[in-house]
């Protein structure tokens, strides 16, 4: 069973065992507009929580994607390199950016659940 959490930078992280799937939220992709480019990290890289891990560019702006937890990149979604619009079409599904083996489960537990994220979006944006 997987569980999804969210960051204040509008990334989602879906945890299954010790592997986390990371991408940007539907709210984030709507704010960006049409995504035209995604720069992904290389598999094998390690990131600490909060480090820049990827970049997403749209017709409106470029935005950094931060590692919501510390971990090692195990896989990247190379389909985005040739078809970045997948991020707009299905951000929480086929539009994921990377998978990471997390180092510390408590970092995941510190993130917002769905209700807290929705309340955050309503209050901030």
DSSP string for residues in 29-56: HHHH-SEEEEE-PPTT-EE-TT-EEEEE
Q: Please state which of the ranges 61-65, 73-77, 121-125 shows the lowest mean pLDDT.
A: 121-125
Q: Which two tokens stand for residue 61?
A: 């702006």
pLDDT of residue 81: 92
| CATH number of the domain enclosing 18 | 2.40.50.100
Tell me the C-alpha distance between 114 and 6, whole Å.
Answer: 7
Please state the domain count of the chain: 1
pLDDT of residue 71: 97
Q: Residue 7 burial by CB count (10 A; 0-12/13-18/19+): exposed, middle or buried?
A: buried
| Residue ranges making up the domain that contains 32 | 3-103
pLDDT of residue 125: 78
Query: Residue 123 falls within a domain, yes or no?
Result: no
Considering only CA atoms, which of 68, 42, 38 is closest in space to residue 55?
38
Tell me the C-alpha distance between 88 and 54, whole Å.
Answer: 16
pLDDT at residue 1 is higher than 80: no
Considering only CA atoms, which of 44, 45, 32, 42 is closest in space to residue 81?
42
Considering only CA atoms, which of 62, 85, 67 is closest in space to residue 23?
67
pLDDT of residue 73: 98
Query: Residue 64 falls within a domain, yes or no?
Result: yes
| Mean pLDDT along residues 96-115 | 95
Mean pLDDT of the chain: 95
Query: Residue 122 falls within a domain, yes or no?
Result: no
Q: What are the tens digits of pLDDT across the range 21-59?
A: 999 999 999 999 999 999 999 999 999 999 999 999 999
Query: Residue 80 falls within a domain, yes or no?
Result: yes
pLDDT of residue 124: 86
| Mean pLDDT along residues 111-123 | 95
Query: Residue 113 falls within a domain, yes or no?
Result: no
pLDDT at residue 114 is higher than 70: yes
Query: Residue 110 falls within a domain, yes or no?
Result: no
Query: Residue 95 falls within a domain, yes or no?
Result: yes
Query: Residue 116 falls within a domain, yes or no?
Result: no
């Amino acid at each position: 069973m997987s569980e999804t959490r969210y960051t204040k930078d509008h990334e989602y992280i879906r945890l299954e065992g010790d592997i986390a799937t990371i991408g940007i939220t539907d709210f984030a992709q709507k704010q960006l507009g049409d995504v035209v480019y995604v720069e992904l990290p290389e598999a094998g890289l390690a990131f600490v929580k909060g480090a820049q891990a990827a970049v997403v560019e749209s017709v409106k702006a470029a935005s950094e994607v931060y590692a919501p937890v510390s971990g090692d990149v195990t896989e990247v979604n190379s389909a985005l390199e040739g078809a970045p619009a997948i991020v707009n079409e299905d951000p929480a599904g086929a539009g994921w950016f990377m998978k990471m083996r997390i180092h510390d489960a408590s970092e995941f537990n510190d993130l917002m659940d769905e209700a807290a994220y929705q309340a955050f979006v309503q209050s901030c944006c």
